[in-house]
Amino acid sequence: MKHDFDEYIQLYSRDLTRLCISLCRNTTEAEDLFQETWCKAIKYHSRYNSSLPFEKWLYSICVNTFKNNHKLFCNRHRVSFSSEEEQTLFFNSIPDFSNENSDEYFELHRIISSLPKKQKVVIVLHYFKDYTTREIADILNIPEGTVKSRLYSAKACIRRRLENEE
């Protein structure tokens, strides 16, 4: 099993890191989430159904760990970057970063980070990880209609905020 996880870690660490950073928006919390996700994946590997994609199972663990870690703190203040360097590292870690549109890009991510957690998770999984609504429903263990509703609400909120800032 150790050999399998060495291979899994090689294959999925980069994408898992991006997901953790996208969810947490803080490198320290993202590192903790990353480590906790792998620990749980190793611990509960016997529960993994090998006929299903490993990546989906791993992301499910990550998202559920993120949600569980933040349940008790649902009304806490938003995490801010401790430095400009940390903010730059965060935005550079997201694929397809374009320097030409960096102001719009930073603004969009600022708005996404301010969304309620449930909306932010579906936006990240759908637009940054390219999962379908059905796959997101499986990962989050919620109905597909709920995923669609959260996506619709999140996009409407993002659209309103972008229009208000123009």
Note whether 66 and 121 are within 8 A (CB).
yes
Q: How many CB atoms lie within 10 A of CB 98?
A: 8
d(CA 115, CA 154): 7
d(CA 20, CA 109): 15
Full domain range(s) for residue 8: 2-165
pTM: 0.57
- Mind listing the pLDDT tens digit for each residue in 31-72? 889 999 999 998 988 888 888 888 889 999 998 888 887 654
Residue 146 has pLDDT above 90, yes or no: yes
For the residues 142-146, what does the mean pLDDT come to?
92
CATH of the domain at 112: 1.20.140.160
Q: How many CB atoms lie within 10 A of CB 121?
A: 23
- Mind listing the pLDDT tens digit for each residue in 112-142? 888 888 888 898 888 888 889 998 888 888 8
Q: What is the DSSP string of 66-115?
A: HHHHHHTTTTSPPP--SSHHHHHHHHHHSTT--GGGHHHHHHHHHHHHTS
Percent of the chain exceeding pLDDT 70 equals: 78
Count of domains for the chain: 1
Q: How many CB atoms lie within 10 A of CB 15?
A: 15
